[in-house]
Structure 1
Amino acid sequence: MRPFKVLVGGFAIVATNGAEGGRQPVGKSDAVAFDVIDRKAAGNTKYASRDQTFTDAWDFCTRRLAIVAASRPH
């Protein structure tokens, strides 16, 4: 089974088995927590947020994207 990953702008939300499981990527049905990875960082290894619910991880990404969009001239 492939690990569950959702791309949101420059971020990736990855399902993991949580801190107690060593934060290994897992499928959606086995997920205990979700990590947000900054895909713009070298090697896609910079964690922007860890051990969140999916909703909190999604909100984190969308808030960050909104802040960036608001700072750009239209």
Structure 2
Amino acid sequence: MADLVRVRLDGVEKNVGREFADAYDLEVLDESPYRGDGQLRPTTRKGGRPRKPKTTVADQAAAKKAAAVAADDTAKEA
């Protein structure tokens, strides 16, 4: 099994190999890269908060338009 450490990089906490962290002089956290049940911790924001999904204005507009079309179609059927 790889020797993993938890590091903070640009405001994000993630798991990387110890050699990688040493090679790039990353800030190693005093925290295990594993959860209590043995699973790897996911990449999180600073402080362990879940990452926000990245969206664009175009994606949000497309979702809003799809919802409006679906609502219009159900209104016409009724």
Please give the range of the TM-score, normalised by the shorter of the 2 chains: under 0.3
The structure with the greater share of residues assigned to strand is: 1
TM-score (norm 1): 0.27
Bigger Cα Rg: 2
